[in-house]
Amino acid sequence: MGMTERPIVLQGTGVRKYFPVHTGFGKPKKYVKAVDGVDITIHEGEIYGLVGETGCGKSTLGRTLIRLTDPTDGNISVLGKDITKLNDKQMTDMRQKIQMVFQDPYTSLDPKQKVGDILMETLEIHGIGSKKERLDIAMEIMGKVGLRPEHFYRYPHEFSGGQRQRVGLARALILNPKVIVCDEPVSALDVSIQAQILNLMQDLQEQMGLTYIFITHDLSVVNHFANDIAVMYLGQLIEKAPSVTLFDNPVHPYTKALLSAIPVPSLRKKRQRVMLNGEISSPINPKPGCRFAVRCPYATDRCRSEEPKLVEIEKDHFVACHLTEK
């Protein structure tokens, strides 16, 4: 069964997240348009890669999709429920099904709590099991992520970066969620440790039937990991396609530039490096037209005045670029 034939577990339509900018008394309001009109569909069992440069809005989108921050506008459906309409109690119940793994788990772990207490507290908040049952669940999930029983009694500062990320995974998994947003989960780790964590995540995904939204600035990380990839630029999705299609046939000039920066071991497959000039446009009340136009070597007057729509150019391959229009 192809990914598009599987049930939809998360869907966002017209999702926007704007942050107000203080401009002074009597001046017109301005907003940082961190996420600006994103449509996204995630299927059951999928690993969905969300990539782009730092500051493009991908982390804000991830947090908004599971309502760690409320959207400014748009609809977000998780497991068939519009979570933008849920109250606090209903949203707490929904958190059992949607979780997040952060870039640096150390900053999201209470340094005064032992790892075992952190895991058991998560279960207690959701009213799951007796104290003995919570202990058993915590020990089981620690084993699944490669932590030993003695780690239960240690504090976060006693772990290495890779071990702390295993703790972060355990905390996300302990509620047996359906969807996990992974925000740069390996970017702070050494390359060898990155591979270990990615392999672990893939194993857990297969064992537990998980769906991942995997956020990263590094396309090489999601190359053999994600089923589908969406490329984000200044708050908007500018290209999305199955992973193989995106790597073999990138269309948007920005996607081509990102891919050209990835080292390729084979000389035959080596891509010509695409250099981008110009500064990134401000996300504060952006100007009309394509937001990439100021850096695009192929930009036309139309690009600078008319915003391109995300359109399907071949099966499951969507691009927002005037240059693709016939």
Instruction: Express each pLDDT in 55-85 by its tens digit.
Output: 999 999 999 999 999 999 999 999 999 999 9
- Write a three-state SS string for the chain: CCHHHCCEEEEEEEEEEEEEECCCCCCCCEEEEEEEEEEEEEECCCEEEEECCCCCCHHHHHHHHCCCCCCCEEEEEECCEEHHHCCHHHHHHHCCCEEEECCCHHHHCCCCCCHHHHHHHHHHHCCCCCHHHHHHHHHHHHHHCCCCHHHHHCCHHHCCHHHHHHHHHHHHHCCCCCEEEEECCCCCCCHHHHHHHHHHHHHHHHHHCCEEEEEECCHHHHCCCCCEEEEEECCEEEEEEEHHHHHHCCCCHHHHHHHHCCCCCCCCCCCCCCCCCCCCCCCECCCCCCCCCCCCCCCCHHHHHCCCCCEEEECCEEECCHHHCC
Cβ neighbours, 10 Å, residue 321: 23
Task: Determine the Cα–Cα distance for residues 61 and 49; give it in Å rounded to an integer.
Answer: 12
What is the per-residue pLDDT for 131?
A: 92
**What integer pLDDT is reported at residue 208 of this predicted model?**
93
pLDDT at residue 95 in the model: 92
Question: Mean pLDDT across the stretch 34-54?
Answer: 96
Q: What is the pLDDT of residue 326?
A: 61
Region 97-117: mean pLDDT is 87
pLDDT at 268: 47
Is the Cβ–Cβ distance between 73 and 191 less than 8 Å? no
Look at residue 316 in the predicted model and tell me its pLDDT.
94
Residue pair 16/60 in contact (Cβ under 8 Å)? The answer is: no
Cα–Cα dist 252/238, whole Å: 7
Strands 311-314 and 317-319: antiparallel
CB contact set of 226 (below 8 Å; sequence gap of 6+)? 47, 48, 49, 214, 243
User: Order of strands, edge to edge, in the sheet holding 73-78?
Assistant: 30-43, 8-21, 73-78, 81-82
pLDDT digits (tens, 9 = 90+) for 153-164: 999 999 988 899
Domain extents in the chain: 3-97+180-194+207-324, 106-176
Quote the radius of gyration of the chain (alpha carbons, Å). Answer: 21
Query: What is the average pLDDT across 129-138?
Result: 94
Give the predicted TM-score (pTM) of the model: 0.91
Would you state the pLDDT for residue 269? 55
Query: 140: Cβ–Cβ under 8 A, 6 or more apart, which residues?
Result: none
- Residue with the two structure tokens 């730092």: 54
**Quick one: pLDDT at residue 120?**
94
**Which overall architecture, per CATH, does domain 3-97+180-194+207-324 show?**
3-Layer(aba) Sandwich (3.40)
pLDDT, tens digit, for every residue of 170-194? 999 999 999 999 999 888 788 888 8
